[in-house]
Amino acid sequence: MAKARKSTFERLQKGQLNRQQRKELQRKFDADSPELDVKHPHAAGIDVGGASHFVSVPPNRDEMPVREFGSWTEDLRCMARWLKACGMETVALQSTGVYWIPVYDVLEGEGLEVYLVNARGTKNLPGRKSDVQECQWLRKLHTYGLLQPDLLFELQQVMDAYDFYRRQLGIIDKQLEEYLATLPAREPVGKVEPAQLTAKQRKKLKASRKSKDNRPAFDLGAELTRLMGVDLRIIDGIDLMTAQTIYSEVGADLSAWPTEAAWASWLELVPRNDITGGKVIKQKKRPSNNRVATALRNAAESLYRSDSYLGARYRHFTGRLEGLKGVKAMAHYLACLVYRLLTKGQAWVDRGAAYYENKRQQREMVHLQKRAAAAGMKLVPIT
C-alpha cells in the first residue's frame, strides 16, 4: 500500500527545528509581551504564497489557530469567513509579488481591515522560519503595532500621479485634435481600392484603428490620411506614430526635395563619399539627429520577424551588411517608399516574403551565369 503523501501544511510544520525548539518557539509566539501595548487585539497574520496562504489567529480563538488556504477564489472566501468567525477585525499580509492582490480584494470585500506591509519589516526573527512561523510572527508584530501600512500610501501616490498624467494627456489630445482640424486637407495623389491591398495590409490597418495604447483618443490615422493624401501605414513597418513623426517634421509636401536621392541625403541615410578624380576613395558615416530618420530606423528594425516583402529585404540587408548598416539601408529604402507615396500616390502593394526570395534567387542565378560565361563555362542544373 502506497504511503499517503503529506500536505504542504504538514511538511512545513516539521520545518528545520527539533521538537523542543519548535515548542519553545511556539511558546514565544503565544506569550504576551507586557512591556508592549496591544494596538490590534483582534489581529491576524497571513503569509502569502503562490499556491497557498498560511493564516494565523490568536491561539485562544480556534482549536487550529494556524490554517492553510488555497489561492483560488472560493478558498479565499473560506479564509475570510473563518477569520470573521474567529472575531478578527484586522489582517496583516506581506506585499509578495502580485499574489497579495486577490487576497487583499477578497478580505477587504468581506469588511476586514487589511494592512499591506513590507516584507523587510518582518525579517527580524532569528533562525530559519517556515511559512507557519512566518504568519504567526506577522500576527504578533501586527498585534503590537510594530508594522508600517505605508505601502498603500505609496501605491495611492503612484496611482494619483498616473491619473494626473492621463488627464494631462487627454488635454493634449484634445488640443492636437482641434489643431489638426484647422489644417487643410490634401487632395489624394492617387487612390488604391481596398481590394488592391493584401489581406495582411487590410488587417494591419484595421488593427491600428482599434489600438488602445498611449495613442491619441481620437482617430489620428484618419486625420493624417486626410492631411497627407495617402495612408503611409500600408507600408509594412510604418505605424501610426512613425507617420505622425513624418508629418510633424516635414508635412505632406516633399517638393523641396526634387528626387528620392535628395530626400534620402537630407535624412542622412546615405554615406558621405570622399571623391577624387571621379572615384570614391573613402566613405564616412553621417551622424544625424533627424527625427524622421530615427523613426524610419525604428520602423526598419520592427521588420525583423515580418513575413512580408520588406521583412525579407530587411533580413537580406542585415545578413549581408555589418552592424547597423543593414538597418540604415532598410531605413533608406523605407524613405524612398514614403517619398513615392507622397509624390506619386498609393502604389505600394506588398507581394510577400516568398516573392522577394524568388526574385533574389533569380538575380543570383543571372549573376552566376554571367560569371560562368565570362570564364568560358556553362552552368548545368543538377537533376
Tens-digit pLDDT profile for residues 68-85: 999 899 999 999 999 999
Instruction: Answer with the residue of higher pLDDT: 126 or 264.
Output: 264
Domain-located, residue 176: no
pLDDT at residue 139 greater than cutoff 70: yes
Domain end (from 87, 116, 148) = 148
Confidence grade of residue 211 (pLDDT, cut at 50, 70, 90): low
pLDDT of residue 270: 84
Amino acid at 11: R
Question: Does 168 map to a domain?
Answer: no
Same domain, 18 and 120: yes
What CATH number does the domain containing 78 carry? 3.30.420
Which of 130, 148, 166 is the endpoint of a domain? 148
Sheet holding 90-94, edge to edge: 66-70, 52-56, 43-47, 90-94, 113-117
Grid coordinates representing 298 are 525604428
pLDDT by residue (tens digit) across 321-350?
Answer: 877 888 999 999 999 989 988 888 755 556
Q: Which amino acid is at 336?
A: C
Banded model confidence at residue 279, pLDDT cuts 50, 70, 90: confident
User: What is the phi/psi pair of residue 173, to 5°?
Assistant: -60, -45
DSSP β-ladder status, 113-117 and 90-94:
parallel
Same domain, 138 and 203: no
Looking at the domain assignment, is residue 373 inside a domain?
A: no
Same domain, yes or no: 144 and 230: no
Considering the chain, what is the average pLDDT of its residues?
80
Enter the C-alpha cell of residue 54: 498560511
Which of 108, 125, 148 finishes a domain?
148
- Is 88 in contact with 42 (CB distance < 8 Å)? yes
Residue 222 belongs to domain spanning: 196-368
pLDDT at 12: 44
